[in-house]
Amino acid sequence: MPFENLRDFLQALEVRGQLLRVKEKVSPVLEITEWADRMVKRGGPALLFEAVDGASMPVAINLFGTLERTALALGVPGLDQLGQELEQLLNQRPPESFVDKLRLVPLLLKLAGFPPRKVSGGACQETVLQGEKADLTSLPALFCWPQDGGRYLTLTNVFTRSPKGQPNCGMYRMQVFDRHTAGMHWHMHHDGARHFREWEKLNQRMPVAVAIGGDPAVVYSATAPLPAGLDEMLLAGFIRKRAVEMAPCVSQPGLEVPAQAEIVLEGYIQPGERRREGPFGDHTGFYSLADDYPVFHLTAITHRKSPIYQTIVVGMPPMEDTFLGKATERLFLPLLRFMLPEIVDYSFPEFGVFHNCAFFAIKKSYPQHARKVMHAIWGLNQLMLTKILVVVDEQVNVHNQDEVLFHVGANCDFSRDLEIATGPADVLDHASQNYAWSGKLGIDATKKWKEEGFTRPWPDGIVMDAAVKAKVAEQMKRLGL
C-alpha cells in the first residue's frame, strides 16, 4: 500500500524492526553522516535522531538504505515490479513508428490516471513563518564531510515552473549561506536550470519552493530522469496509485507543493545573481569543487506541527542514493526497451556511481549492433553522461559484475572492440579535460560474427548437460548437501 506521508512510512519501518530511534544527543556536524555511513554500509536500519544538538526537530536518514526498504517505500514487493507495471501500460498502446514512440512517452503516466490534485491547504502549512520569522538556520541541515563549504539541505524536492507554466520537481543540494539565502546547485543539464535560464532571459525573478520530507514516492520522484516537460508528480501518482495533493504556496503565487510535506521553503532566485557554493562531499566519492551558482532567497517557511527533518548523505558508495538509483534503473528499463527493443537488461554497477559505467545485455541481430546501441544510449537524456558502456550478449547477467568482466576479458580484442566517442559529461566529473564534456568508451564484449570480419572459429562456452545437472541436484538434495 502507498504511504500518505513520512510519518506513515516511519511507522511501517518501526513495525518491521527497520527503524532505530537514537535518543542520545548527536551533532548534525559530521556525526550524523558517520552514523548514516556506517549503517548503510552494513545494511542497517533507518535512523531517527530524536535529540539533535542545537535543533528543535528530529532528523530522519537512511530511510531508503536497502533494496527492501526502497521497495517498501514505493509500495512494491520488489523494485522490478515498478518496471513491469509500466511495461503493461506501454503495451496497451502499441506505437506504429519511432516517431509515435517519442510522442507517446509524455503520455504514459497520464494514461495511468493519477494526475496531481490541487487542494486549498494541507498539513505542510499548519505553521506559517514569513519575513524575519522565516530562518533557514533553524533547520538541522547537515555539515556532511570535513571539507564541505558549509551546511547543506540534501534531500530536497525543488519545485519550479517555466515562464510558460511548465512544472518541474528536481532534487538539488542547497548550501545554507545565512538565515535567508542558500545556494541552488543545479547543473546545466537539469530542468530546474533550464527554467532559470528562461526566467533570466526575461530578467525576472523565478519563484521556487522546496519541500522536505513527505510521502516517499514523492521524494523519490524528484530524482527520476523524466523527459523534459513531464511533471514528476505524475510519476509519483503512478507509483502510489493515488493522486498527489498539491497546496498553493503562501508567498509565491503560481507554485504548488505536496500538501503532506513536513517542511516547505518558499522563495525566489534573482536573475544575474551568483554566489560561490561548495566544496561538497559528493556521490562520486570525491569533493565537488566550489563554483558559482544561483542564490535562493527565502520568503516563507511552512511546516507541520512538530516537523521531522528528512535528509540524506552521499559519498563513497554504497550510500543511501545507491538504492534510489536502483529504483530508477528498474523503473526505466521498459522505456529503454520501448526505444531500443534489442535491450534485454541493463545495470549501473555500484562503482560507476550512475554515470561512470553501465552494463547492457542485448539480443544481437546484425553486424556492429553493439556499437549502434552504444551511440543510441549516448543520445538518451541523462544516459548521455555515461562514460563507459559495456555491451554483452543476452545470456550474460549484467547484475553480476564478475560475469560481465569475464566476458570483457574473454570476448574482446582491444585493438578492435573499443569505441571512442566525445560528448556531454556530468559536471561533477573532475577527470574531464574540459568542463561538462569528455571522451566516452564503449566496449563491445559480444560474440564476434563472420560478417564483422572475424574469420576464426568462435568456441562455445562450457555448459553442463541439463539432465545431468538436474540428476546431481536431486542426489545432493537427498543427501542434505
**Domain match, 394 and 305 both:** no
User: Tell me, what's the pLDDT at 2?
Assistant: 79
Bond prior to 2 in cis (omega within 30° of 0) = no
pLDDT in tens, 301-343: 999 999 999 999 999 999 999 999 999 999 999 989 989 999 9
The verdict on 20 and 104 lying in the same domain is yes
User: What is the 3-class SS of 248-277, one letter each residue?
Assistant: ECCCCCCCEEECCCCEEEEEEECCCCCEEE
Considering the candidates 37, 148, 282, 417, report the single residue annotated as catalytic: 282
Question: Is residue 282 annotated as part of the catalytic site, yes or no?
Answer: yes
Q: What is the pLDDT of residues 360-390, one digit of tens each?
A: 999 999 999 999 999 999 999 889 999 999 9
Q: Would you state the pLDDT for residue 71?
A: 97
Print burial letters for 70-105: b (CB count within 10 Å at least 16), e (below 16): bbbbbbbeebeebbebbeebbeeeeeeeeeeeeeeb
Residues 20 and 124 in one domain: yes
Question: How far is it, in rounded angstroms, from Cα 171 to Cα 168?
Answer: 10
The Cβ of residue 38 has, within 10 Å, a number of other Cβ atoms equal to 11
Q: Tell me the pLDDT band of 283, cut-offs 50, 70 and 90.
A: very high
Residues 299 and 354 in one domain: no
Q: Is residue 475 part of a domain?
A: no
Residue 53 lies in a domain: yes
Confidence band of 230 (pLDDT split at 50, 70, 90): confident
Tell whether 236 and 370 lie within a shared domain: no
> Do 129 and 246 reside in the same domain of the chain?
yes
Check residue 88 and give its pLDDT: 77
Does this model's pTM top 0.85? My answer is yes
Phi-psi region of 328 (alpha: psi -120 to 50; beta: other; left: phi over 0): alpha
Lowest mean pLDDT segment, chosen from 19-33, 204-218, 332-346: 332-346
**What pLDDT is attached to residue 150?**
98
Cis, peptide link before residue 216, omega less than 30° from 0: no
92 pLDDT tier (thresholds 50, 70, 90): low
Q: How far is CA 289 from CA 136, 154, 432, in A?
A: 23, 17, 13
pLDDT score of 100 more than 80? no
- Identify the pLDDT of residue 109: 56
- Let me know whether 39 and 118 are in one domain: yes
From 51, 78, 54, 69, select the one nearest 140 (Cα to Cα).
54
Strands 263-269, 206-212: pairing is antiparallel
| Bridge partner list, 421 | 440
Q: What is the pLDDT confidence band of residue 103, given thresholds at 50, 70 and 90?
A: low
Are residues 109 and 237 part of one domain?
Answer: yes
